[in-house]
Amino acid sequence: MNICFTAIRDEGSKMPSDERMTINLQRVEPRQTAGTMLDGEASMYAVRHESAQRWVDLSLHLSDLEVTLRWLELLTDKHTQPTPEADALWTAALTMFFKCFKHSRSRNRLVPEEVLANEPEEGRAQFSVLEALRDKTVVHDENAYTQGAVLVPIANPDGPVAQMGPPVVTLFIASTLDDGHINNLRLLSLASIAYVKAAIKEASKEVEAHICSASRADLVAAGPYLYTSPSVETASQRRSN
């Protein structure tokens, strides 16, 4: 099902260009039009420009980073002891943060060298540590934080008669969750949020400049923007921007 976006504003109101906008949604069945618009309503048209796509990408990153920060705050406030819930929050926060810095076919990733350019060397070093924990422990199993061996007990191994017990699989799993890692990820999240917010302001200015220079015919040529709902059938497909 498609959804037609309709924005309603008080007459004469103006929203800062770098703010995210909350709009009313009107469901529209496929092949249906949005119907007659009420007074004060205006159709929404997508801006087709690289600066607009950059604004979208940055806003998606900001959403993920703010969620990461909320999870870390919840972890600090509510789960001071190791629990399954604490492990789940830590895993979620770690993976959500680095989602913004990993390759994506649908949005441009954040570049750590740019995001953390003004941070101290120790901050950049901790980024690498946490990224390794995410890549090699939490998401993939490669480093020594998780190990295993099949062990067999052998009594009197050097004597004339050795006694041997049944073999057993033994796992050695070290936790990546500690106060230092939590605090470092929180500081990195705050630094990333500050960078993204500044970049959003720049992107929004470029969008405004493009809109001012473009003709109205070009801006409305593709028709009103339609949102396509996700589905399990399209879950494996790249979204269209």
112-127 pLDDT per residue, tens: 999 999 999 999 999 9
Query: 3-state DSSP call for residue 137?
Result: helix
Using alpha carbons only, what angle is made at residue 202 by residues 197 and 207, rounded to the nearest 5 degrees? 120
State the average pLDDT for the chain: 84
Query: 3-state DSSP call for residue 241?
Result: coil
CA dist 191 and 32 (Å) reads 45
Between these two residues, 129 and 7, which has the higher pLDDT value? 129
The model's pLDDT over 195-207, given as tens digits with 9 standing for 90+, comes to: 999 999 999 999 9
CA dist 37 and 95 (Å) reads 43
* Number of residues assigned to the chain: 241
Using alpha carbons only, what angle is made at residue 213 by residues 211 and 219, rounded to the nearest 5 degrees? 45
| Residue 160 scores a pLDDT above 60 | yes
In the chain, what percentage of residues exceed pLDDT 90?
59
- Structure tokens that stand for 93 in this block: 């926060």
Query: 3-state DSSP call for residue 145?
Result: coil
Using alpha carbons only, what angle is made at residue 100 by residues 23 and 87, rounded to the nearest 5 degrees? 100
**What pLDDT, on the 0 to 100 scale, is given for residue 159?**
74
The model's pLDDT over 180-199, given as tens digits with 9 standing for 90+, comes to: 999 999 999 999 999 999 99
CA dist 131 and 126 (Å) reads 8
User: Which bin fits 126, alpha (ψ -120 to 50), beta or left (φ > 0)?
Assistant: alpha
Token pair 């500050």 in the structure block, residue: 194
Q: Where are the domains of the chain?
A: 1-44+224-241, 50-212
CA atoms within 13 A on the CB side of 8: 7
CA atoms within 13 A on the CB side of 81: 1
Q: How far is CA 180 from CA 110, 121, 159, 168, 184, in A?
A: 24, 17, 48, 34, 6
Picking from 61, 1, 57, the residue whose alpha carbon sits closest to that of residue 27 is: 1
Q: What is the pTM of this model?
A: 0.79
| Residue 222 scores a pLDDT above 90 | no
Q: What is the 8-class DSSP label of residue 199? A: H
Q: What is the 8-class DSSP label of residue 170? A: E
The model's pLDDT over 41-83, given as tens digits with 9 standing for 90+, comes to: 788 899 999 999 999 999 999 999 999 999 999 998 877 777 8
Token pair 């190791």 in the structure block, residue: 82
